[in-house]
Amino acid sequence: MEYQGELDALRAELRVLYKLIPEPTKGFGALSKAVKEGGALGIKEKEYVALGIAVAQRCQPCINLHVEALMKYGASREELGDVLAMALQMGGGPALMYAAHALACWDELAAKAA
């Protein structure tokens, strides 16, 4: 699979959506910014929570975005594995399939960054 291509296509789709409904998407952006700033958890830990939810909810675009963000914030493949194991425990068989996608996305993006 070409995860970078999927990320690029998703960002293009989102730009079109932002133009159609600017106020709601600005509101969502403000919410996203607010939950990431401050608090007891660091940004990396918050991204792990988001990834776990994305896997359990089976949201492939969300998985791709949060894997990419985790790489940016210094996550390790081993930490990713722990988060995917928890998502599997919470989401069962369907989460297993999406956890495999998350790991494949990580591996592809890591190989391109190397």
pTM above 0.75, yes or no: yes
CA nearest 98: which of 36, 106, 17? Answer: 106
Name the token pair of 75. Answer: 């996550």
- pLDDT tens digit sequence for 31-61: 999 999 989 999 999 999 999 999 999 999 9
Contact 50, 62 (CB under 8 A): yes
Within 10 angstroms of residue 66's Cβ, the number of other Cβ atoms is 25
- DSSP-H helix ranges across the chain: 3-20, 22-36, 43-57, 60-72, 77-113
- Asked whether the predicted pLDDT for residue 1 surpasses 90, the reply is no
User: How many domains, in total, are found in the chain?
Assistant: 1
Segments forming the whole domain that contains residue 7:
3-113
φ/ψ of 53, rounded to 5, equals -65, -40
Beta-carbon contacts of residue 46 (< 8 Å; ≥ 6 apart): 35, 36, 39
pLDDT of residue 114: 87
Which CATH number characterizes residue 85's domain?
Answer: 1.20.1290.10
For residue range 8-17, list pLDDT tens digits in order.
999 999 999 9
